[in-house]
Amino acid sequence: MARIKKLVPKHPLAIRWMHWINFPVLFVMIWSGLLIYWANDVYKIHLGHTVYFSFFPESFYKGLNLSRRLAEGMAFHFLFMWIFLINGLAYVLYTLFSGEWRYLFPNRRSFKEAGQVLLHDLHLSKKAPPQGKFNAAQKLAYTGIIVMGLGSVLTGLAIYKPIQFQWLTTIFGGYGNARVLHFVLTLIYCLFFLVHVLQVILAGWNNFQAMVTGFEVLSDTKNKTHD
Amino acid sequence: MTNPPPPNDSPLNQPDPQGPGQEHPSPERPNSDHQASPESRGPDHHANPDPQPAPAASPDPQPAPAANPKHAPASLWRTLAKAAGHGDDLTPEQQITRRTFVSFSAFALLGAAAWKSWFWIKDAVQSDGVQTPLRKVLNGDDKIFKHTLSPNHLAKTWPREQAAKNVRYNSGIGLGADPATWRLQVTRANGETLAITMDDLKALPKTDFAFEFKCIEGWSQVSWWGGVRFSDFIQHYNLASETQKAYVGLTTPDDHYYIGVDTPSMLHPQTILAYEMSGQPLPTRHGAPLRLIIPIKYGVKNLKCIGKIFFSDDRPRDYWFERGYDYYCGL
């Protein structure tokens, strides 16, 4: 064989577990959140009286069978919130104490580099910024999603116990605003998920399987960029 | 998701699944990373029976089989580890194939387990309108969060003029008491029943405030209510011994709508037996002649048209609880 394969450790076991636990948990949280939202589905994108989009059209509820299931939605939400919280907390503690945060935290250059990554990924620029274990755009995304997770937990608590944790509800601009923020964060998760899955597909099998096996397979040719 | 590596005789044998800093060959790794121990990278690493060849410094990816004497006591673990792709006498291809197989098998197995547990919850027998495992968790959540309840945690109050003029109406179950014959019936511990008239209630000190009423559906609205603080009512009618019980039950005169509330929440300083809304006598659709206003609970616990009040150590039956909602409903 001309090319010699090498097995290169990439993702620690703990991170792989927490990543994959989060996937169905976040899915259930979003689904049960929709069951809850249905009961007071007032959010719209509008300018003045012109409504551009209404969350959500009746066909959406019908197609996904989301109507008249508020009690069930709350029950699921208030079970899976614990798994979401504990898993997220474990992830943050793990990355901090293992030193893995060094690959995930953005630094001063990250914002500029993330722009370069974006241009490169959109084929607008030939110059690929430094990849590292995670490139600057990934650092921002993977750190941002943790901040969002914290935001969901806190806005969630602010609407779950708005009187016992009134100070928190006040920080988010009151009960109604906290609910809006909680909803908007969920929309961004969905956006993140779409981009994430697309990037993983584009990055290819070797990158994807590393999230299951923990290692990447390298040939003796130089390390390629991976998402 | 690989299985954790099996124990070996030498600690050096164990690839640390927790240690992202170890053995990572990435050239971008900061130099300060002390975890990249020289032992795992040194040119003599073949001498260590290292199950993961340290790729960064290795000029030769083929581990030397001679370094691992065949006569060494081959433990069951070592055999299993080797079968799973951890062994320095395996070629990289063998390691890749075996470890990929093991990881994806574990992944599939755990996925199947998650799938199975999902249906275990979803198809579980119902308990008061919701799957039993979920009901248990709802009850558990109550136990956790009832400790946050404090008489000092008051619902924010608003200037009365900011209260809605058009107060939202959601449900009319059990409404329409005849004001002429209406009495508030309170069952005492000794079985005796008090029959209290509206004039009796109005003679007690009046409390009124505007707060943000919150419906379990998700909407909220600032509204203004006036009446008798429940704790004042308890004091006036000498019901202190009754409040030793864990719950207070309230029903409409016809028993069509009924709730149970934990006693500490009933004694919260903002819990009132309301006979006024927006400074006017309560309209029928908002619960005339008397309703419960309990800001620290969702609207479902703000029972309209109170007919009877009783005290109990068991949870009184509750209309929306029976339909799958949380019993406590504390905000």
The interface predicted TM-score (ipTM) is 0.87
pLDDT in tens, A11-27: 999 999 999 999 999 99
Report the CATH number that the domain containing residue A70 is assigned in CATH: 1.20.950.20
The chain A residue lying nearest B212, using CA atoms, is A175
Nearest chain A Cα distance for residue B178, angstroms: 33
Q: What is the pLDDT of residue A155?
A: 97
Does B28 contact A131 at a Cβ distance shorter than 8 Å? Answer: yes
Confidence grade of residue A2 (pLDDT, cut at 50, 70, 90): very low
Does B92 contact A6 at a Cβ distance shorter than 8 Å? Answer: yes
pLDDT in tens, B32-65: 334 433 333 333 334 344 444 444 444 444 444 4
* Domain count across chain A: 1
- Quote the DSSP letter at residue B276: E
| Structure-model confidence comparison of residues A121 and A89, the more confident one | A89
Q: What is the pLDDT of residue A219?
A: 82
How far, rounded to the nearest angstrom, does the alpha carbon of residue B268 sit from its chain's CA centroid?
23
Query: Which structure tokens are listed for A85?
Result: 């919280």
Is the backbone of residue B287 left (phi > 0), alpha (psi -120 to 50) or beta?
left
Measured between beta carbons, the chain B residues lying within 8 angstroms of A209 are 100, 104
Residue B210 has pLDDT above 50, yes or no: yes
Query: Which structure tokens are listed for B182?
Result: 């209406």
Q: What is the pLDDT of residue A3?
A: 65
Inside any domain, residue A135: yes
Q: What is the pLDDT of residue A23?
A: 95
Does A163 contact B295 at a Cβ distance shorter than 8 Å? Answer: yes
pLDDT in tens, B230-267: 999 999 999 999 999 999 999 999 999 999 999 999 99
At position A5, the amino acid (one-letter code) is K
Confidence grade of residue B11 (pLDDT, cut at 50, 70, 90): very low
Helices A13-38 & A205-213, crossing angle to 10 degrees?
A: 100
Measured between beta carbons, the chain A residues lying within 8 angstroms of B27 are 223
Inside any domain, residue A12: yes
Host domain of residue A174: 5-219
From the list B107, B129, B150, the residue facing A71 with the nearest CB is B129
- The percentage of chain A sitting over the pLDDT mark of 70, rounded to a whole number, equals 95
pLDDT average, residue stretch A128-135? 79
From the list B103, B324, B331, the residue facing A72 with the nearest CB is B324
Query: Which structure tokens are listed for B67?
Result: 């370094």
Does B145 contact A164 at a Cβ distance shorter than 8 Å? Answer: yes
Confidence grade of residue B287 (pLDDT, cut at 50, 70, 90): very high
Residue B23 has pLDDT above 80, yes or no: no
Residue B298 has pLDDT above 50, yes or no: yes
Does A71 contact B323 at a Cβ distance shorter than 8 Å? Answer: yes
Does A9 contact B53 at a Cβ distance shorter than 8 Å? Answer: no
Q: What is the pLDDT of residue B8?
A: 40
The chain A residue lying nearest B145, using CA atoms, is A161
Interface test with B, best of A1, A3, A5, A7 (most B CBs within 10 A): A7
Residue B328 has pLDDT above 70, yes or no: yes
From the list A8, A70, A132, the residue facing B217 with the nearest CB is A70
Q: What is the pLDDT of residue B83?
A: 87
B159 burial class (0-12, 13-18, 19+ CB within 10 angstroms)? exposed
Confidence grade of residue A34 (pLDDT, cut at 50, 70, 90): very high
Phi, psi of B127 (to 5 degrees): -130, 110
At position A164, the amino acid (one-letter code) is Q
- Rounded CA-CA distance B110/A223 in Å is 31
pLDDT in tens, A143-155: 999 999 999 999 9
pLDDT in tens, B74-106: 688 888 888 888 888 888 888 899 999 999 999
Lowest model confidence (mean pLDDT) among A180-189, B63-72, B176-185, B195-204: B63-72
Confidence grade of residue B68 (pLDDT, cut at 50, 70, 90): low
Q: What is the pLDDT of residue A116?
A: 82
Does A40 contact B33 at a Cβ distance shorter than 8 Å? Answer: no
Does A213 contact B324 at a Cβ distance shorter than 8 Å? Answer: no
Q: What is the pLDDT of residue B72?
A: 54
Nearest chain B Cα distance for residue A91, angstroms: 12
Inside any domain, residue A227: no
Lowest model confidence (mean pLDDT) among A105-114, B221-230, B319-328: A105-114
Q: Parallel, antiparallel, or unpaired: how do β-strands B184-187 and B126-127 relate?
A: unpaired
- The residues spanned by each domain of chain B are 11-115, 126-323
Does B27 contact A223 at a Cβ distance shorter than 8 Å? Answer: yes
Angle at B256 between CA B210 and CA A74, to 5 degrees: 65
Inside any domain, residue A148: yes
| Structure-model confidence comparison of residues B25 and A56, the more confident one | A56
Residue B66 has pLDDT above 70, yes or no: no
Confidence grade of residue A1 (pLDDT, cut at 50, 70, 90): very low
Confidence grade of residue B275 (pLDDT, cut at 50, 70, 90): very high
Inside any domain, residue A226: no
The pTM assigned to this predicted structure is 0.82
Does A10 contact B110 at a Cβ distance shorter than 8 Å? Answer: no
Coil, helix or strand at residue B8? coil
- Quote the DSSP letter at residue B295: T
Tell me which H or E stretch contains A186: helix A175-203
How many contacts, defined by CB atoms under 8 Å, are there between A and B?
163
CATH among 3.90.420.10, 3.30.470.20, 3.40.470.10, 3.30.390.50 for B126-323: 3.90.420.10
Query: Which structure tokens are listed for A65?
Result: 């069978």
The chain B residue lying nearest A38, using CA atoms, is B217
Nearest chain B Cα distance for residue A187, angstroms: 18
pLDDT in tens, A190-225: 999 999 999 999 999 999 999 999 999 888 654 444
Instruction: List C-alpha distances in Å: A183 to A176, B105, B155.
Output: 11, 36, 23
Measured between beta carbons, the chain B residues lying within 8 angstroms of A219 are none
- Rounded CA-CA distance A184/A164 in Å is 24
Measured between beta carbons, the chain B residues lying within 8 angstroms of A5 are 61, 92-93, 96
Does A133 contact B95 at a Cβ distance shorter than 8 Å? Answer: no
Inside any domain, residue A225: no
Q: How much is the mean pLDDT over chain B?
A: 83
CB A159 within 8 A of CB A206: no
Query: Which structure tokens are listed for A90?
Result: 């474990």
Does A4 contact B61 at a Cβ distance shorter than 8 Å? Answer: yes
From the list A36, A217, A223, the residue facing B96 with the nearest CB is A217
Residue B67 has pLDDT above 50, yes or no: no
Measured between beta carbons, the chain A residues lying within 8 angstroms of B154 are 163
Q: What is the pLDDT of residue A55?
A: 94
The chain A residue lying nearest B107, using CA atoms, is A212
Q: What is the pLDDT of residue B71?
A: 52
pLDDT in tens, B139-195: 999 999 999 999 989 999 999 999 999 999 998 999 988 988 999 999 998 999 999
B248 burial class (0-12, 13-18, 19+ CB within 10 angstroms)? buried
Does A40 contact B219 at a Cβ distance shorter than 8 Å? Answer: yes
- Rounded CA-CA distance B124/B324 in Å is 13
Measured between beta carbons, the chain A residues lying within 8 angstroms of B218 are 36-37, 39-40, 179
pLDDT average, residue stretch A90-95? 96
Inside any domain, residue A87: yes
Interface test with A, best of B86, B137, B147, B162 (most A CBs within 10 A): B137
Inside any domain, residue A145: yes
